[in-house]
Amino acid sequence: MVDRVNRPTTVWSRPERGARGPAPERSRYEITGAALALADAEGLAAVSMRALAQRLGTGPASLYRYVGSRDELLDLMADAVAGELDLSAAPTGDWLGDLVALALQSKAAHARHPWLADLNDRRGEVLGPHAIDYLDHALAILEPAPGTSRQKLEAIGLLGGLATLFARRETSAAADGTPGPGPGADGPPAQAAHLAAVAAEGRHPHLLAALTTAGPPPPAGPAERDALFERLLRRLLPAMLVG
């Protein structure tokens, strides 16, 4: 049974407006949307109550009627992005395929909001209703999969971590103008050429053998990055859910 007495207070556990006083001029939805737009345009560091108030044409103090702190605002932002994921499709029974499709959605959301990777590095953030819906949906997908509940929760955590990692690398690569594939030895052309030159010197025989066997790096466009992301998940997830 859930311990409701010790349930922590969150921005979602408080009513959006009090029972008394004038009708609110704004809503948390409007404030969160403005914060998302600010972060998309200028990055997470630019999101402050003062900057947000300026964007909304109001004073910072007025925002605290709706959001208690910047941390609460960041929680609202993270949950709003989780709400962008389409969870309407019922699980098909192909738990691995369904989970990979969900992971690709998550990676795409990170690509739309590059600051989300920085937000995911925060400690102690509270899962909001959309994020909890996502977690429950992922667990529904994994219901026919082998493994314990703990293993399934860890697999979902890995899925989110890989989505964050790939999106961060792709965002960085786009900013640098480099191809930027996912993690691994197949980096941008200059990196691949450097590794080949070092391996050819003969002091790293295992690297030389691996590069020789692997052949030239594959293309590094969006489709190839998604394919690499999917391959990694299809290899890692079954290994985590061993029954």
**Rounded-to-integer distance, Cα 40 and Cα 65, Å:** 24
Look up the pTM and report it: 0.84
**Rounded-to-integer distance, Cα 14 and Cα 29, Å:** 14
Closest residue by Cα to residue 228 from 103, 138, 117: 103
pLDDT-above-70 percentage for the chain = 83
User: What are the angstrom distances between the C-alpha of 159 and each of 106, 147, 154?
Assistant: 9, 16, 9
Confidence (pLDDT) at 240: 93
The C-alpha torsion from 220 through 223 and 225 to 226, rounded to 10°, is -170
Arithmetic mean of pLDDT, 73-91:
96
**Rounded-to-integer distance, Cα 33 and Cα 54, Å:** 14
pLDDT band at 222 (very low <50, low <70, confident <90, very high): confident
Summarised one tens digit per residue, pLDDT across range 90-147 is 999 999 999 999 999 999 999 999 999 888 777 566 899 999 999 999 999 999 999 9
Summarised one tens digit per residue, pLDDT across range 164-180 is 999 888 877 666 655 55
Tell me which long-range contacts 48-53 makes (C-beta under 8 A, separation of at least 24).
Answer: 49/73
Residue that is written with structure tokens 């299809």 in the block: 234
pLDDT band at 221 (very low <50, low <70, confident <90, very high): confident
